[in-house]
Structure formats: structure tokens, C-alpha cells
Copies of this chain bind each other. A is one copy, B any other.
Amino acid sequence: MRVAILGGTGDIGEGLALRWGADTDHAVVVGSRDPEKATAAATDYRDRLADRGHEATVESAANGVAAADADVVILAVPPYHVGDTVETVADDLPEDAVLVSPATGMKRDEDGFHYHRPGAGSVTRVAVDAAPDDIPVVGCFHNLAAGRLADLDADLGVDTLVVADDDAARETVTDLAESIEGLRALDAGPIANAAEIESLTPLLINLAMNNAGLHDLGVRFD
């Protein structure tokens, strides 16, 4: 499988690229608005994977080029760039591509982090609204601690939650998520259920800030 990570130079993109590079044979393409940044990041990820004995395929490209021949396109960009990123690459997407939205809107005040729900209902819904009608969007990878994901010495042992309105796309992304060792993907229903998943990310940060020993925490449902 060929996975494009748009915004792949950011911290969640870094973690996903390293995990797929270490645990799978998927080809990863690090996308960025700035192709030079993408190349620098891909080289870094490849070197770190090679140091651990993984000969991973990690390429780089501008976002549109990265998306153009990908099976799955991860929108690993800040929430306020999700809509415009989808619009930028919309014409380049292969007809059977699947978009994945991991972003969540947050605001911080003196009490902690809070979910900043977009008018559309969720960030995942923003991606749906911006995507071409025939390209399915799946919400996934919202609640992963980026530092733990990027630390290949760290066991994950956590869950990620999947929302989708298209069953085949849900299955593709569920398999892609579970190809990462220690990551279990659970079905949280349709896109309409995304807001409660996105809300969990600020909660995780609040818990990390308020409890000694809960750094880079994840969530597990049992």
C-alpha cells in the first residue's frame, strides 16, 4: 500500500511514518507544502529507521504530488488547514483514494485544553465537506500521543477510534491502523460520531498535565 502523509513533517506525521516504516512494507510519502521540508523529513525518518535495521520506503513530495498516486492520504495538518489542504489536492487524488482525518480542534485557557468544535460539527466533517463527493473520508489516529508514537522503543498498547460512512474505506483504514504493532482500531460508527472522539484529545492532554507519571498517555477501552 502507498500512504501519503500530508503535513508529514509535523509530529503526528513523523510518528505514523516511523511506525509504518518499522512495522510494515507500506511505501510512505511525506508530503508538505514545502517540498524541501518534506525531503529533509523523509531523509531523517529513513536514516532513523535504517539505524534500527529497517529498510523502509519513505519518499517525499509536495502535498499534491504525494496525494496523486496514494491509496490512502492522511491529513496530518493543523485543524484549520484541513479544509484548504483537501481542496488543494482534490484534483490530484486517484479515484479510489481514501482520505484520513486525524486532526482535532483545541483551544487552551488557564484551566486546560478544551475541544473547539468547528461549525461543521467536527474536524473530520470539515474534511468530508471539502472532499470530492466520490472520495470517502475516515476519521482515525485522533488520540495518539505524538511523542510515544515517534519513539520506536515505546510500546503502544493503545486504541485508536475509527469513524466512517463508507464500509470499504473503514476497513482499509482499520487494517492500516492495525498494521502498527500495539495499535488496536475500534469502530466508533459513522462520521456523525467524530466530535466525541476529537474531544478526547484535549482530555488526554489535561490528564497528562494533572497527573504525575501520565506523560504521553494513550487510551484503552476494555
A187 contacts across to B, CB distance below 8 A: 207, 210-211
A52: interface (CB < 8 Å): no
Question: Is A189 within 8 A of B214, CB to CB?
Answer: no
Which residues of B sit under 8 angstroms from A209, Cβ to Cβ? 189
Bits for A204-221, please: 1 = Cβ < 8 Å to B, else 0. Answer: 101101110010011111
Number of copies of this protein chain within its complex: 2
Interface string of A184-206 (1 = CB under 8 A from B): 00111110110111011011101
Q: Are A158 and B193 in contact (CB under 8 A)?
A: no
Check: A111 CB closer than 8 A to any chain B CB. Answer: yes
A195 and B115 contacting across the interface, CB-CB below 8 Å? yes
A193 to B221, CA, bound (A): 21
Q: Which of B193, B199, B214, B219 contacts A206 (CB 8 A)?
A: B193
Tell me the minimal C-beta distance from A124 to chain B in angstroms: 13
Contact yes or no, B189 A196, CB < 8 A: no
Cβ of A161 under 8 Å from chain B: yes
B207 A188 Cβ-Cβ under 8 A: yes
Q: Chain B nearest CB: distance from A179 CB in Å?
A: 19
A214 contact from B196, B219, B221, Cβ within 8 A: B221
Q: Does chain B have a CB within 8 A of A114? A: yes
* Interface contact A222-B220, CB-CB below 8 Å: yes
Q: Check if B157 sits within 8 Å of A193, measured CB to CB.
A: no
Q: Which of A109, A161, A206, A211 lies at the interface centre, i.e. has the most chain B CB atoms within 10 A of its CB?
A: A206
A114 to B222, CA, bound (A): 20
Known: A115-B199, A199-B199, A214-B186. A221 touches B207 (CB 8 A): yes
Whole-angstrom distance between the Cβ of A168 and the nearest chain B Cβ = 16
A94 at the interface (CB under 8 A from B): no
- Which residues of A pack against B, CB within 8 Å? 109, 111-112, 114-115, 157-158, 161, 186-190, 192-193, 195-197, 199-200, 202-204, 206-207, 209-211, 214, 217-222
